[in-house]
Amino acid sequence: MAVKAKHQRLLLAVLAASALLAAGLIAASALREEVSYFYTPSSLARDKPAPGKAIRIGGLVQPGSITRGADGVSIRFVVQDRDASLNVRYTGITPDLFVEGSGVVADGRLAANGIFIADSLLAKHDENYVPRELADIDMKTGQQSKDSLVR
């Protein structure tokens, strides 16, 4: 009898745990579209949020696109992902990791002409950790890396 009760509890626990896990995971992954932390240039082109609405965008700073204004604090650059790009304007001090080719997340709004006016700028690090002296060299070919993130 004791064995039977134990098996019943095991079955109940497994059922409850898997139902719970499934519910949690389904809920969380259903939120994927809703709670995306930022728009990428492609999802921005697809979803078209209204100009003037406060949104957050993220992507890579296009190499060669950063131009600094004469006042020293206003900059323009292009944020891109694989399929689309977006012109961004920002006035303020940029974080240390804000470099061309690196990731960036910006709060702000779209102007009527399609330029994104950023109020704040955060740098995004990618998952690669590379010592400084190796950063320019591609490990496999020994050549200067194309996608080197170093200025």
Partner 1 sequence: MHRFANPARFLRLAKPLTPALFWPGLILALSACLWGLFATPAERLMGETVKIIFVHVPAAWLGMGGWIVIALASIIQLVWRHPLAGIAARAAAIPGAVFAGICLATGSIWGRPTWGTWWVWDGRLTSMLVLFFLYLGYIALANASSEKGSVSRVAAIFGVMGAVNIPIINRSVVWWESQHQKASITLSGSSIDPAYLWPLFGSVIGFSLIFGAVVLMRMRAALAEIKIDARMRRMAER
Q: Which residues would be at the binding site for partner 1 (CB under 8 A)? A: 6, 9-10, 13, 16-17, 20-21, 23-25, 28-29, 31-32, 35-38, 40, 58, 94-99, 102-103, 105, 121-135, 149-150
- Of residues 65 and 148, the one with the C-beta less far from partner 1: 148
- Of 104, 101, 98, which is closest to residue 38 (Cα–Cα)? 104
CB of 134 to partner 1, least distance (A): 7
| Cβ-contact 104, 124 below 8 angstroms | yes
CB of 49 to partner 1, least distance (A): 15
User: Residue 56: is it exposed, middle or buried by C-beta count within 10 angstroms (0-12/13-18/19+)?
Assistant: middle
Distance CA 31, CA 45 (A): 21
CB of 72 to partner 1, least distance (A): 18
- Of residues 126 and 138, the one with the C-beta less far from partner 1: 126
Distance CA 89, CA 108 (A): 10
